[in-house]
Structure 1
């Protein structure tokens, strides 16, 4: 049994991981949040604390006795990643053994400017350990969430469904010209949570790059899968964008996914949706979402959910 601090514990992915960790009945969970703490009785096995992420001394006090930190905090408006740097400094001062920064997505970040804080956190962690290992850490990188392809039906308990350029509901897709054979990794949120729980118990040293590979698949294979599940007798309607249009921010398709996230102010959703669409398509084309398989190899007995079975069940009986 170890004490685990969950940073950004009110987020959907964090809640999925918390549920799996609590189900093991092995660990004590310290849930840190910027929100006001509730007056109701806490869930057994958890302690919730309202945290001031600007104070390293206060964070150090809170994290004393913690073995592992899992960060899920999204700070898209903090490209310098001040919060995560403060957490890292406090973790080192408090004697924390392991740290997982807020990754939970792509291996590459160059095409997605809203992930600048992740890149800066990676740089800072590497600098901290440049001369000798001070803090053990891993970058959990599962690629895209397979659950996105069940939109508008939610297929995870806490992570809401999101619109995506490959739209199973309306049998359509938006691609970059010539990108049909480009590949990316897809992993269910449920598998991510279970891998993290097993990583907590892993007795060896955490790998710095912590790829989680549910399945690596091409855009063409994904669309063919969608057609088999959703439209056996009718192909998906495909629209394409040129790389130059994307670079210029010109979205000329007849539709575009709307990306909504708690970190995006409602009045900025339309603007950010265009930016995110361009970034995600460019990232897929660049191979940024193709994850490695470090955790697959370290946990060889874990069986990952495959997209065919997951999506066939999720869409069964749906119009």
Structure 2
């Protein structure tokens, strides 16, 4: 039975990956700094499904090495900012090497950074630097590129107070449900075809111009408050936005992501990329959750307990 270790296993994507690991019958070690008010319920839920918790500092390489010892796969889903990845993910890699982990999955889970040109953004450049380090050290790795995450990129009032769009409304990009990210991640992590490769998930394509028609289709008569940040503003903030609180994704870094996704269309490789495999071709038996299926769920759009009476099921 393969054994996985995951750092960040109670975050949005990490929790789904953790559940899939356990559902597939694999062993799981949740590696974290310990229980907090925000993660305790998820840790306990995963432990109830069979996960084992290991608590240690995320900068203590010997302790992390012990946590990863005997694991086939180590997955990093730490807070995705350039500063955090640059300062902290190296400790996880060093521990994975010392523990002789079979495969390392770094904190990607977004745009295809392997195919991006240098200078596309602080976060993307930091991820590319980390990819080069893994290659130089000879660490077997797999990069997961799901495009944008449905929870954040599809229009909803659970995470936001208004529906906000950015840049060019007709710029198309792929979106993926976290459950599908989990299924592809677990399969790819154990698949020899995916060693030192990226895995692109691009089953659902959409553009921001589709947002309001989709909402009107399923919630006729409801008025959604919207605002648009035009391309010129995105480009300006991507170059000159503030860099305050680098560990919490500063303004400049956020808009560099918006620039890549909604202006430059860099979410996936523009041309076939030799080191990127297609998830649908790799795993044709996976049926991916579609955009309409998600938008038609009023709890996704409005949030639990906040669905207007007219749309309650």
| TM-score after normalising by structure 1 | 0.73
Counterparts of 1:56 and 1:233, CA distance in 2: 53
What are the residue-to-residue correspondences of 1:144-163 with 2, within 5 Å? Answer: 144-148=148-152, 149=154, 151-153=156-158, 162-163=159-160
Is residue 82–residue 122 contact of structure 2 (8 Å, CA) maintained in 1?
A: no
Matched residue, 2:98: 93
Is residue 85–residue 127 contact of structure 2 (8 Å, CA) maintained in 1?
A: no
Counterparts of 2:165 and 2:12, CA distance in 1: 26
SS of the counterpart of 1:87? helix
1:278 paired with 2:244, answer: no
Change (3 A) 1:241 1:94: same
Is residue 31–residue 67 contact of structure 2 (8 Å, CA) maintained in 1?
A: no
Q: Deviations over 1:265-315 (max 9, x none)?
A: xxxx9xx4x445533331121122237762221101111111012211345
1:199 paired with 2:188, answer: yes
Change (3 A) 1:127 1:60: same
Question: Which sits farther off after the overlay, 190-199 or 202-211?
Answer: 202-211
Counterparts of 2:209 and 2:142, CA distance in 1: 31
Matched residue, 1:103: 108
Counterparts of 1:184 and 1:40, CA distance in 2: 35
Shift of 1:32: 0.7
Note the aligned Cα RMSD (angstroms): 3.4
- Number of equivalences: 277
Is residue 155–residue 211 contact of structure 2 (8 Å, CA) maintained in 1?
A: no
What are the residue-to-residue correspondences of 1:115-134 with 2, within 5 Å? Answer: 117-129=126-138
1:221 paired with 2:207, answer: no
Question: Which sits farther off after the overlay, 184-193 or 55-64?
Answer: 55-64
Question: Which sits farther off after the overlay, 95-104 or 209-218?
Answer: 209-218
| TM-score after normalising by structure 2 | 0.74
Counterparts of 1:76 and 1:228, CA distance in 2: 36
Counterparts of 2:215 and 2:131, CA distance in 1: 35
Matched residue, 1:6: 6
Matched residue, 2:147: 143
User: Structure 2: any 5+ residue segments left out of the alignment?
Assistant: 239-246, 270-275, 309-313
Question: Which sits farther off after the overlay, 69-78 or 219-228?
Answer: 219-228
SS of the counterpart of 2:296? helix
Counterparts of 2:224 and 2:77, CA distance in 1: 38
Is residue 146–residue 200 contact of structure 2 (8 Å, CA) maintained in 1?
A: yes
Matched residue, 2:166: 175
Among 51, 56, 60, which residue is 2:65 paired with? 60
Question: Which sits farther off after the overlay, 211-220 or 103-112?
Answer: 103-112
Is residue 149–residue 176 contact of structure 2 (8 Å, CA) maintained in 1?
A: yes
SS of the counterpart of 1:286? coil
Question: Which sits farther off after the overlay, 209-218 or 186-195?
Answer: 209-218
Counterparts of 1:150 and 1:249, CA distance in 2: 22
